[in-house]
Structure 1
């Protein structure tokens, strides 16, 4: 025993501390495998080029398909791997040693606060912008991970930052194949940052403005506050991308971790669907949630869009309008639901159809459970969303629990002097709902947040006043975000209901085989001679 103990190599305090931090995240075995795959056996260090390729985006002749992104965006993404290595690793003369490899992982993926994670994302973005010859007006007071950030960002720089985070969110999903990197529409998120952080002279027309040309300055402190309050999961994109690339290095047989077979693929296929829930909107909703909803949205919408239709439970234009059609498609689903509504209040000039079209807005509501047919409010949690043209999230306030109201007119009951309204609502109180959709799915009523103590305050639509706003509904969608388990439960429920319906339709032919015993003959006899039974009794 003593001889074996003396033969074991002694770990330095620095290595012991680094491995202890990595072990606390459960990643130490993965790091050991990744290091063995990436390292040079002779020097026992990871060559800098190998690590840069591991964290880079290998396009293999592909292109960046962007509509409004500046020309610097492809250059910025080409530098992602080298900038990320420079940000978190300290190389030796021969490369990255084991200790520095583990410390680099800890610098990026160790458990830290959300503000520290955002600080790391902004530092990486600052380095990328510098390499792309797009200097930013951001300054860090010190090298500490939680130091104060001074300066400001312009709207086009916010767009670049969000685009970088989107690509990292998408790139960590293990996509295979070659293709182009296609950015979704992120204008609703950029407008949200502008409205929350900046002041535009003469006001801002959110319906029609060239966002990337605006010169409004968004102070760094306000921008950090906006991220923490609106999209708190945005900083997680860096950690997830970092971890996913190391996992890819472990699972692939290539020594460099990423080969052309695992290059970034083509995500433009999902753009062919004319759904309310686009990739950009789905991603915006996902980075507001730290629940399983985040992963389910990412799986369906960010990872190439495979299986999107499996998540769609109801669409008014496809399944028919009205609460009955709506209910037949969502009943029995026991999982989180995302309900989206596209509407227009009719404030635009009716003589200009294009103007009316451009002024459509989208609202959303996320529930943590399935819907129930009740004439009262119910639910344990939820979140309201103003999605387009400006994105905002309204999580629970903690004061009341009037999360959801979904009620159909009762069948088989007698006269009710004061029937409860049929429709779907969120927040507020009965008769003063914050969002109410009637049973025909033709009219949407949006009220001021003063009537609602369930969800946080704020305007759901641009220029919303104190009076209720009645809008015409053009489309309604319901997306199931409970995974395969919730869908299986709903399928079982539908099969059971179909079986009960079929059993109720069956007729016992043995009972009614004889005409003399049939109820039809008894009814005919009563109609022809209603006193026949009395004569026989006499």
Structure 2
């Protein structure tokens, strides 16, 4: 394999290559992959083996988006060769152990996000050229480095996002390594419109409800695209890293991958199960590009789950299913002590839009703001991610009616950001009215619009649907289930009445009350 059991026989070059690979946590997987793919005689990986490793054979019979570039299928066919051309460059004998490690580190090693994004753009530009299409990107290479200039059109960005989606899907579905997998392309127009609004000159004044923007010749400068990715979807370059890592790792267990699946490819990779939710696969993927660790993995279940049952596991509440109102909401989210994403669909001025709020802790009934961290999202039609500003901690407000008299009653409902009476987002207890205020009222979350053409005055909208998704994983959900069972048991115990106690009229509380009303002095006379 090239790695020696004796440290004395390891060259400094090999030691450095193995150290860099180990820093990614993938050294063990790389050793297994090299052992599987390499020729025992030459101790190198033939380029034909790597081509087979990165081969992507897919078909997508349906597409959520209304606009689909015709050149996208050809682009996917050249994704694997483009990765090999840029990172896994071999001589006539193939890749030896050191070259293999350095090639992997060049693509998947630790580096700034901007460098990872350049790698992604390089692969995309090469695949576009190989497919016979044209691009406005220009890659200026030198011996030590390279620069990417030029621009992308909205249709180019859509294909780039779809390419990343396919790589993410392939990373989570091992059957796609060899099978002719079938799946649907999601609607990620909200991301394209976000980039156009942020990067194109005069983009903020564009009518985002115009379907013609996606097919227009408006230019998105590469420099501004870099800024937009780092601010809005910082995990986008990770799609390439995960794809390369998964393909190399899976190559060590090709026999397992080639075993027939219990269901057809079309059934295994359909995006249909979550189409009925507010959080469609495309919107869920958009949010996942802003998350890390457990939350991201749980969100990706909504994107890539093989069936509706698995998607529904993370759904805590849906107004059309469980009923509208704060009490129905509370009975489904109470006891969930983990990250929660609330998605609200509303309509105002004859346009529908969706916003979201992510809280890193569960909901509690309080008449004050609480929380330690969170984010706000403009989800549709334009995507935007507003993180914590660090100035205040008014992340969440969730207040129910309390028994008894309140001299100064607090608002009943759910809110995010701002202050009591001037909340950034406020939804009333009936889940019928939504008020969204300008970011000037809020110091907790970053500034930015939550829906198109949001002005300075508060906007009152009609709530169409509310969904709540738990992102804490199985253990948090199990803990909530146990909590709800205990609450149900306590409720049943409180409802039970010992009928034997009241079987005798003389001992009943009703007779005692009647006696006191008819003769209030009876007790005193008895005491005397």
1-structure distance, mates of 2:144, 2:368: 49
Measured at CA, do residues 369 and 202 of structure 1 come closer, stay the same or move farther in structure 2, by a change above 3 Å?
closer
Match of 1:470, SS state, is strand
Contact 2:283–2:379 (CA under 8 A) maintained in structure 1: yes
Matches within 5 A, 1:117-128: 117-128=116-127
Deviations 1:299-357 (A, max 9, x none): 34224356111111111111111111111111110000000100011x23xxxxxxxxx
Measured at CA, do residues 63 and 522 of structure 1 come closer, stay the same or move farther in structure 2, by a change above 3 Å?
closer
Unaligned segments of structure 2, at least 5 residues: none
Aligned-residue offset at 1:259: 7.7
Deviations 1:43-86 (A, max 9, x none): 32222122112122133xx4453353222111111111111111
Matches within 5 A, 1:156-175: 156-175=155-174
> Which of 520, 523, 527 is matched with 2:513 structurally?
523
Specify the alignment match of 2:457 in structure 1. Answer: 467
Q: Does 1:149 align with 2:148?
A: yes
Query: Could you tell which deviates more after superposition, 213-222 or 287-296?
Result: 287-296
Specify the alignment match of 1:431 in structure 2. Answer: 421
2-structure distance, mates of 1:146, 1:339: 44
Specify the alignment match of 1:373 in structure 2. Answer: 365
Contact 1:175–1:304 (CA under 8 A) maintained in structure 2: no
Specify the alignment match of 1:484 in structure 2. Answer: 474
Contact 1:187–1:211 (CA under 8 A) maintained in structure 2: no
Measured at CA, do residues 156 and 237 of structure 1 come closer, stay the same or move farther in structure 2, by a change above 3 Å?
same
Matches within 5 A, 1:239-318: 239-253=241-255, 266-271=268-273, 273-304=275-306, 307-318=310-321
Q: Does 1:103 align with 2:93?
A: no
- Aligned residue pair count: 517
Q: Does 1:453 align with 2:443?
A: yes
Measured at CA, do residues 104 and 172 of structure 1 come closer, stay the same or move farther in structure 2, by a change above 3 Å?
same
Contact 1:375–1:406 (CA under 8 A) maintained in structure 2: yes
1-structure distance, mates of 2:399, 2:438: 22
Aligned-residue offset at 1:531: 6.7
Specify the alignment match of 2:219 in structure 1. Answer: 217
Match of 1:511, SS state, is helix
Deviations 1:227-276 (A, max 9, x none): 0000001001111111111121123327xx76886997643243564110
Deviations 1:75-108 (A, max 9, x none): 1111111111111112121222222211111111
Q: Does 1:89 align with 2:91?
A: no
Aligned-residue offset at 1:178: 5.3
Measured at CA, do residues 460 and 322 of structure 1 come closer, stay the same or move farther in structure 2, by a change above 3 Å?
same
Specify the alignment match of 1:13 in structure 2. Answer: 12
Under a length normalisation based on structure 1, what TM-score does the superposition of the two structures give? 0.90
Query: Could you tell which deviates more after superposition, 292-301 or 317-326?
Result: 292-301
Contact 2:375–2:387 (CA under 8 A) maintained in structure 1: yes
Measured at CA, do residues 366 and 7 of structure 1 come closer, stay the same or move farther in structure 2, by a change above 3 Å?
closer
Specify the alignment match of 2:380 in structure 1. Answer: 388
Contact 2:47–2:94 (CA under 8 A) maintained in structure 1: yes
Specify the alignment match of 1:325 in structure 2. Answer: 328
Deviations 1:374-429 (A, max 9, x none): 11111000000001110000000111111000000112x2x222100001000111
Match of 1:241, SS state, is helix
Specify the alignment match of 1:25 in structure 2. Answer: 24
Query: Could you tell which deviates more after superposition, 207-216 or 315-324?
Result: 207-216
Measured at CA, do residues 129 and 416 of structure 1 come closer, stay the same or move farther in structure 2, by a change above 3 Å?
same
Measured at CA, do residues 238 and 201 of structure 1 come closer, stay the same or move farther in structure 2, by a change above 3 Å?
closer
Deviations 1:468-502 (A, max 9, x none): 00000010000011011111111111111111111
Contact 1:394–1:456 (CA under 8 A) maintained in structure 2: yes
Specify the alignment match of 1:407 in structure 2. Answer: 399
Aligned-residue offset at 1:524: 4.0
Specify the alignment match of 2:341 in structure 1. Answer: 338
Match of 1:268, SS state, is coil
Match of 2:93, SS state, is coil
Aligned-residue offset at 1:534: 7.3
2-structure distance, mates of 1:280, 1:141: 33
Q: Does 1:363 align with 2:359?
A: no
2-structure distance, mates of 1:20, 1:201: 46
Measured at CA, do residues 485 and 57 of structure 1 come closer, stay the same or move farther in structure 2, by a change above 3 Å?
same
Match of 1:180, SS state, is strand
Query: Could you tell which deviates more after superposition, 486-495 or 276-285?
Result: 486-495
Specify the alignment match of 1:354 in structure 2. Answer: none
Query: Could you tell which deviates more after superposition, 292-301 or 82-91?
Result: 292-301
2-structure distance, mates of 1:7, 1:460: 60
Q: Does 1:397 align with 2:389?
A: yes
Contact 2:342–2:358 (CA under 8 A) maintained in structure 1: yes
Contact 1:58–1:264 (CA under 8 A) maintained in structure 2: no
2-structure distance, mates of 1:34, 1:72: 33
Measured at CA, do residues 146 and 342 of structure 1 come closer, stay the same or move farther in structure 2, by a change above 3 Å?
farther
